Amino acid sequence: MELRTLRYFVAVAEELHFGRAAARLHMSQPPLSRAIQRLEGDVGAVLFERSSAGVALTPAGDVLLDEARGLLDQADRARVLVAVAAGVAVLTVGLLGDSTDPDVVRLADACRLRHPDIEVRIRETDLTDPTCGLHAGTVDVALTRGPFDETGLVVRELRADPVGALLRVDDPLARSGSLKPADLVDRRWFRFPEGTDSRWQDFWSGGEAREGPVVRAVEECRQAVLWNGTVGMTLVDHPPGAGLTVVPLVGMPPSPVVVAWRGGEASPLVESFVRVAAAVYRGRR
């Protein structure tokens, strides 16, 4: 029973979908299915129930999932301890814009508890770089939001947050129970500078070309609405600030919180960070 196969198994168990697990592992589905079949042969039990309704863990699969996570955690800790002994236990983490998310605090606590000897360096970036320096090579791993250009990166979704329209409290639309993007089609929006990732720009502009003040940071977004009466998208659960309100937007996909890192062989520190992040955010749900 190889650690790589256990990682494959955990991916399928968490996604409950072979296609999504294969995409997450950056491999094709047939070899993933064969690896799981070999694992079932090794343990002598069926681990997944496969039907037209989807994929589900069997009782044996549930048991193995707990054990596999424990084994992988032990392997991660061993690799990190070796990195510490070798004097390379420094991890640079990119955070996007506003790091007050309570899950970020929980993640910091979990990382410190798991690896107290690691030095974590934080690089907070503004909203013009959703990869937080990954493409530029200035960080090892990023805790950020999608969508953005994923070329050369590995991206794993941790959470998805509903979005809404950020408005002044005296805006005629502020009393609406919900809005559609079409309700805002003639309004000026805050927007990001030219050259900002096109996928990111398109999402936060509601899928349309917009006119309005240019912003770079979360607080600038709020002030653009407060001072100019413009509109823009924000998170439904994000405190809007004095004089502002958020109205849920119907028909817009949620904003995904993701952990991302550069493709290729990940360092032990990055692998451990990703596993801790997945566990912390999984425990939230």
- Looking at residue 189, what DSSP letter applies? B
Helix (H) or strand (E) holding 166: strand 163-168
Condensed to tens digits (0 to 9), the pLDDT of residues 170-213 reads 999 999 999 999 999 889 999 999 999 999 999 998 888 889 99
- Which of 82-86, 160-164, 180-184 comes out lowest in average pLDDT? 82-86
Whole-number pLDDT of residue 100: 63
Asked if pLDDT for residue 155 goes beyond 60, the answer is yes
Q: What is the CATH number of domain 163-253?
A: 3.40.190.10
- pLDDT value of position 250: 94
Q: Kindly report the pTM of this predicted structure.
A: 0.77
CATH (one of 3.40.50.10330, 3.40.50.720, 2.40.50.100, 1.10.10.10) for 3-86: 1.10.10.10
Parts of the chain belonging to CATH 3.40.190.10: 89-161+257-285, 163-253
Distance (Å, rounded) from C-alpha 38 to C-alpha 32? Answer: 10
Angle subtended by helix axes 59-85 and 268-284, to nearest 10: 140
Q: Taking a C-beta distance cutoff of 8 angstroms, is the pair 190, 221 a contact?
A: yes
Helices 3-15 and 59-85 cross at an angle (nearest 10°) of 130
Check residue 2 and give its pLDDT. 87
Fill in the amino acid letter for 275. R
Q: What confidence category does residue 110 fall into, taking pLDDT thresholds of 50, 70 and 90?
A: very high
pLDDT in tens, 25-44: 878 999 999 999 999 999 99
Confidence band for 98, pLDDT divided at 50, 70 and 90: low
Termini Cα distance of the chain: 30
> What is the CATH number assigned to the segment(s) 89-161+257-285?
3.40.190.10
d(CA 119, CA 88): 9
Q: What is the pLDDT of residue 284?
A: 54
CA distance 9 to 39: 8
Sequence ranges of the chain with CATH classification 1.10.10.10: 3-86
pLDDT digits (tens, 9 = 90+) for 235-268: 998 889 899 999 999 989 999 999 999 987 778 8
Q: Is residue 88 predicted with pLDDT exceeding 70?
A: no
> Residue 52 and residue 70: Cα distance in Å, rounded?
31
The contacts of residue 238 (CB under 8 Å, 6+ apart) are 98, 246
Asked if pLDDT for residue 129 goes beyond 70, the answer is yes
